[in-house]
């Protein structure tokens, strides 16, 4: 599940408004999907995921929150993109090793003045996303790296417990 603080940053960078059409690619447990659906209502969210167990978990979370403005699609993102309508915003939380193909296809599915956000935790994904987002048609690229530390109680002491860093990319499509 995407940590709460990372969700906050992703959602802020997406700049979601009610009525928008959104994409959550690699939705996992659906934690970002749920937040997107709540923010864009009555708009539509398309949640894509290739792992059947994650699809089931996303559907259960949507049911728990009473959200009906989400279409959950099972399969690889690069093959499902063609089925989708034009979107205002896109979040890539997982690309299953197909980030390059997805970023080549995605501009054809995005409305003018749309935004995308990508999270990355490996050096390989960070390097690839940096390279790909430096190319047209992507513009106004922002790259952040998080350093989240929570304080927890252990044996009567308050100790720092750091989370692994997450790199967050934001880009616009003119």
Q: Which CATH number describes the domain made up of 4-173?
A: 3.40.50.150
What is the average per-residue pLDDT within 24-29? 96
Is residue 1's pLDDT more than 80? Answer: no
pTM of the model: 0.94
pLDDT score recorded for residue 62: 97
pLDDT score recorded for residue 6: 95
Alpha-carbon distance 17 to 19, whole Å? 6
């Amino acid at each position: 599940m995407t940590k709460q603080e990372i969700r906050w940053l992703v959602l802020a960078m997406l700049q979601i408004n009610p009525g928008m059409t959104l994409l959550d690619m690699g939705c996992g447990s659906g934690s970002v999907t749920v937040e997107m659906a709540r923010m864009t209502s009555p708009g539509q969210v398309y949640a894509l995921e290739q792992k059947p167990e994650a699809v089931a978990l996303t559907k259960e979370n949507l049911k728990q929150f009473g959200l009906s403005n989400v279409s959950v699609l099972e399969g690889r993102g690069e093959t499902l993109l063609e089925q989708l309508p034009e979107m205002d915003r896109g979040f890539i939380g997982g690309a299953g090793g197909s980030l390059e193909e997805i970023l080549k296809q995605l501009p054809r599915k995005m409305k003018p003045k749309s935004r995308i956000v990508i999270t990355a935790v490996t050096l390989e994904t960070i390097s690839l996303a940096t390279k790909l987002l430096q190319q047209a048609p992507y513009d106004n690229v922002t790259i952040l790296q998080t350093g989240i530390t929570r304080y927890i109680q252990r044996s009567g002491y308050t100790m720092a417990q750091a989370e692994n860093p997450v790199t967050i990319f934001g880009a616009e499509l003119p």
